[in-house]
Structures are given as C-alpha cells and as structure tokens.
C-alpha cells in the first residue's frame, strides 16, 4: 500500500516538474503576496498631515507646534491664522487633524501655571481606525509638549509604569506577517490540490486508474504528498522573507512551528481535495476555492479583526475556519515563544479537521468515471 502511494506521489512530482507554470505559481505567488500584503497591511501611522490654526502666534504655541512636527506620527502641512470652516479646511488641505490654539493662548497658559489653556483638536473620523489612533495620541502629546514648554512636571497621584511585552515597538508587521503565512499556505495548498485532480478529469488521464488495483485512499494520499512538500517550501520562503524584510524572528521552537505548519498544510490540502471531488473543471474549482478560503481567512480568522468583537453567530463560523487555530499557533510561537504545552488544543483541532476532510474526500472520490 505504501509503495503504491509513493508511486502515485512520484508520478505527481514528475508532472509538477514538467509544468513550469505551476511551479511559478507555487514559488513566485507567495513572495509577491508577502511584498504586497506585508507593506500594505499596517496600522502604523507615519507623518500624518495636520494643520495648525494659531490666530496670534506666540513663543509657547510655536514651540508646541514644533514638538508636534518633530514626532514621527505627525507632519505639519500648513499654518493658518483663521479657519472659519473646519470642513472646508479638511477638504482644501487634505489633513487628518487641525490643532486650534485660542487667540490668547500664551497669556492663558502663563496665568494657569499648569497648562490649563484650552487647545482644540479636530480629527477627520472618516477612517475609524485612523481616527481612534489619533484621538488616543493627541492628548498626551499636547500635554507633554505644554509641560515641557512651561518647564514644570505634571503632578500625579499614581505613577503608572507600563511595559509592553512580545512586541515592544508595537510594529504592525510583527503581527500581520505571521498571519500572511496562514493565508498564503491555505490558499496555495487548497488551490493546487483542487486543480491537480480536476485537470486530470478534464484530460481524461484519471481513467487510467481504472486499470490499476489502487484504492481510493491510496490515490488521495498519493495526490496530497507532493503538495505537502511544495507548501512546506513556500512556508520556508515566507519565513525567510519575513525575517529579511520585516525583521520577524521566531521566538519559540522552529521544529514545533514546522510540525504545526505541516498539520495546517495537510488540512488546507484536504480542503482542496474535497473541492476537487465536487468540481468537474479547473475553472469551477478556482471559483469555489478562492472565495471559500481567502475571504473567511482574512475576515473571520482573527487575522485583522479580533474575534472577541464578533457576534456569537460569526464566532461560531470562525470556529470552522482552519486559519483561526493556526493563527493562534504561529503568533504564539513567533511572538511569545510558547510551545506544545500551551498550543496543543488548536493543534489537535487542526489535525482533527484535516483527518475529517480527507475521510470525506475519500468517501466522495469516484475512481470510476
């Protein structure tokens, strides 16, 4: 039985090596997706254009404005003395925030002694994520700049010593790049297996199996084995690119991550195999695989949106997405350095999903056409 499965796998390997287009898809597409998604998917705000409205420019307001411009988050795009219509300012200057100093800001600041002069900040909330980040950043920034100008220390009853673990710089790449590995492996693996079998259906080469004493399980496993190797190569390339371009380092065990990735690849291949038992043509297989893998993985797995924010119905659906569990594993291993003792549950669920999907595929696979 093992020899026959190996023979089928060897035949599939020979077919892949002769099909250079498939090899290009397998090797080049993941790298392109890493470049595009890795640089595009980020929550880091750099040089956000803002406007300063200062009716009576003074030393204090000028120094506070300079402190705002000195940060990496903000870039002063212009200074005006009077902005009668804030909406018109947003449209004309294309800024994300307006810092409004009152006419007597310097006088009020000296009288208050503790930075009690009001500063209004208008924020463009058309993008909720950007608006929330700016809203949380402007108050402590203006307060610190004001205290530095006044050369006083802020009185505090409680001192908070906050420390960030695992991702001290709060870089989005360290969070999104491991998630990209889950998306790319699932899409590539499912797509390859679905196209491999449907292609043989279209060409009629699957009929040759009728004259051989092969069982359905042998055919299915033999078809999966070559693509496990190819997907493992893709996973290695993704980790290397993530390390070279985005500085993503594996904090935990690489061997455990490799073993968990193989389980995830097996489950992903099983999805494509199940699709191939239903689809009769390659085009039909692609139309099924891409929406069924890409959209749920991006939206419902926790890749971008936290699962805790989902309603109960969507959380139940996300529990059926394999990437939901692999994201827990890969982010835990890469960012936190945890291992099997903490991640055995999502790993067991992934393995169970893969075995179930393969069993269903074997049951639905028709040797006789």
The pLDDT tens digits of the residues spanning 99-120 come to: 888 888 877 777 755 546 788 8
**Distance between CA atoms of 217 and 207, rounded to whole angstroms?**
16
Domain boundaries, the chain: 11-41+171-364, 48-150
**Distance between CA atoms of 54 and 65, rounded to whole angstroms?**
10
Mean pLDDT score of the chain, rounded to an integer? Answer: 79
Is residue 325 pLDDT above 90, yes or no? yes
Under CATH, which architecture does the 48-150 domain have?
3-Layer(aba) Sandwich (3.40)
Give 308's contacts (C-beta < 8 A, 6+ positions apart): none
A 10 A CB-CB count for 53 gives: 19
Query: Minimal CA–CA distance to 216: which of 38, 4, 19, 74?
Result: 4
pTM of the model: 0.75
Question: What integer pLDDT is reported at residue 159 of this predicted model?
Answer: 47
Give the residue with greater pLDDT, 111 vs 192.
192
Contact (CB, 8 A) for 172 and 257: no
Tokens of residue 158, six digits: 């409680």
Angle among Cα 25, 302, 289 to the nearest 5 degrees reads 35
Q: Give the 3-state secondary structure of residue 98.
A: strand
**Distance between CA atoms of 272 and 197, rounded to whole angstroms?**
9
Q: Provide the pairing of β-strand 97-100 with 120-123.
A: antiparallel
């Amino acid at each position: 039985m093992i020899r026959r499965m190996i023979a089928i796998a060897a035949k599939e390997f020979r077919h892949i090596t002769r099909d250079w287009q498939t090899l290009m898809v397998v090797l080049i597409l993941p790298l392109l997706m890493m470049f595009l998604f890795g640089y595009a998917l980020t929550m880091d705000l750099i040089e956000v254009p803002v406007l300063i409205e200062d009716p009576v420019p003074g030393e204090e307001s000028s120094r506070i404005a300079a402190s705002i411009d000195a940060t990496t988050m903000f870039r002063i795009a212009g200074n005006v003395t009077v902005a009668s219509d804030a909406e018109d300012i947003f449209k004309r200057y294309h800024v994300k925030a307006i810092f409004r100093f009152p006419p007597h800001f310097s006088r009020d600041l000296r009288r208050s002694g503790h930075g009690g002069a009001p500063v209004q900040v208008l924020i463009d909330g058309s993008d909720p994520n950007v608006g929330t980040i700016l809203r949380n950043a402007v108050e402590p920034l203006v307060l610190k700049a004001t205290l530095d100008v006044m050369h006083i220390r802020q009185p505090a009853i409680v001192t908070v010593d906050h420390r960030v673990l695992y991702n001290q710089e709060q870089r989005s790449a360290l969070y999104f790049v491991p998630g990209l590995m889950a998306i790319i492996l699932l899409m590539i693996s499912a797509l390859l297996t679905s196209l491999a079998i449907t292609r043989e259906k279209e060409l009629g080469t699957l009929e040759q199996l009728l004259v051989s004493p092969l069982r359905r399980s042998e055919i299915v496993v033999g078809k999966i084995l070559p693509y496990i190797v190819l997907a493992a190569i893709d996973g290695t390339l993704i980790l290397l690119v993530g390390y070279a371009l985005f500085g993503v380092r594996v904090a935990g065990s690489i061997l455990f991550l490799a073993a968990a990735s193989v389980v995830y690849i097996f489950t992903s291949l099983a999805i494509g195999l199940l699709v191939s038992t239903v689809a009769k043509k390659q085009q039909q297989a692609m139309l099924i695989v891409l929406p069924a893998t890409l959209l749920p993985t991006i939206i419902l797995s926790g890749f971008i949106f936290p699962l805790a924010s989902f309603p109960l119905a969507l959380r139940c659906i996300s529990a059926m997405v394999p990437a939901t569990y692999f994201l827990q594993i890969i982010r835990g291993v890469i960012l936190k350095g945890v291992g099997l003792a903490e991640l055995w549950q999502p790993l067991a669920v992934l393995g169970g999903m893969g075995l179930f999907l393969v069993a269903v595929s074997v049951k639905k696979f028709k040797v006789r056409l």
